[in-house]
Amino acid sequence: MSHEQALLEVTALTKRYGEQTVVDGLSLTLPAGRCLTLLGPNGAGKTTTLRCLLGFTAFDSGEIRLAGLPVPERAREARASVGVVPQADNLDPDFTCTENLLVYARYFGLSRREARARVPELLSFAGLAHKADTLVPDLSGGMKRRLTLARALIHRPRLLVLDEPTTGLDPQARHLIWERLRQLLREGIAILLTTHFMEEAERLADDIVIMDRGRKIAEGTPHELIAREIEPNVVELYAGRDEAAFAALVTRLRPLFSRMERSGETVFGYCHDPAPVLAALEGNPQRYLLRPANLEDVFLKLTGREQREE
């Protein structure tokens, strides 16, 4: 993929707030038509990265080219090719769905006629055709998100940037958003999104950059990350009421795993060949689950299992 075709090219981006380096030498490339996902725990620097590359926040060093144009110098022009879905819906509560889209269309310089033609298309794409005249406060959380997504598409951007697009939504609403984003990818739009949901990254991303404390700590396709960073099989063992028996079982199994981790009531055993573990578990009353390793295992191995407060 040549540089001209990359919708986003970030080289050694660094951003400090006072003493704290929030983004630390980050490089990213997003070719046309792909989905790049920044995955990281809270405070990893994902939102700050997005703000820098859209030209909303000044950065300390590094280079950014958005839609082929240097940021911040030509950020405004570059943003004409970009649709943005911010973390919090900032729709106008005094307006209906249609009116919200029309206002935005005007902001992006669409003619009245173009805008009038585009709005029903977008409402239908967002599954909101029946809500055209509904005021924003009367929409569900999922509907507001979809309206924000429709709004971001009004000027037919080539790149869509989404900051935690499904945070706060219930699983059904989340699936609807994913389905729409996959449709956009099929149509050839490029997507850059941030998330801390593994499932979201696993379902949508062509490429994943795992960030922690402002740094890129791993990158690749979901498949590559799992194959490279972690053992292929995981046995989850659940502690029952009999802690002593569980502890004895864990001690007995330990040599059969290449790595073991405990998180609350669950012990995770990682291995290449699960057969000896299954044999050792036979006839044992403790509950367990054998499953293939997934992105969450990679993420937790790289960023740690402790909860982050921030």
Q: How far is the CB of 17 from ligand ADP (least distance, A)?
A: 4
Determine if 208 is a binding residue for ligand ADP (CB under 6 A).
no
Q: Is the separation of the CB atoms in 263 and 305 below 8 Å?
A: yes
Q: Which residues contact 204 (CB under 8 A, 6 or more apart)?
A: 35, 37, 178, 181, 182, 185, 191, 193
Question: Which residue of 42, 111, 124, 263 would you call a contact of ligand ADP, by CB under 6 A?
Answer: 42
The piece of 38-46, 97-105, 118-126, 300-308 that touches ligand ADP (CB under 6 A) is: 38-46
| Cα 45 from chain centre | 13
Q: Which residue has the tokens 């082929």?
A: 68
Question: Which residue of 28, 30, 39, 44 would you call a contact of ligand ADP, by CB under 6 A?
Answer: 44
Among 299, 272, 278, 305, which residue's Cα sits nearest to residue 290? Answer: 278
> Alpha helix (H) ranges present in 25-88?
46-53, 75-78
Determine if 25 is a binding residue for ligand ADP (CB under 6 A).
no
Return the number of the residue (118 or 145) whose C-beta is nearest ligand ADP.
145
Determine if 48 is a binding residue for ligand ADP (CB under 6 A).
yes
Which phi and psi angles does 75 have, rounded to 5°?
Answer: -60, -40
The piece of 45-53, 243-251, 264-272, 281-289 that touches ligand ADP (CB under 6 A) is: 45-53
Q: How far is the CB of 42 from ligand ADP (least distance, A)?
A: 4
Determine if 22 is a binding residue for ligand ADP (CB under 6 A).
yes
| Cα 210 from chain centre | 10
Determine if 40 is a binding residue for ligand ADP (CB under 6 A).
yes
Determine if 36 is a binding residue for ligand ADP (CB under 6 A).
no
Return the number of the residue (47 or 96) whose C-beta is nearest ligand ADP.
47
Q: Which residues contact 119 (CB under 8 A, 6 or more apart)?
A: 98, 101, 102, 105, 132
Determine if 86 is a binding residue for ligand ADP (CB under 6 A).
no
Question: Which residue of 34, 46, 145, 301 would you call a contact of ligand ADP, by CB under 6 A?
Answer: 46
Task: Name the packing angle between helices 97-107 and 112-125 (round to 10°).
Answer: 130
Interface with ligand ADP by CB under 6 A: which residues? Answer: 17, 22, 40, 42-48
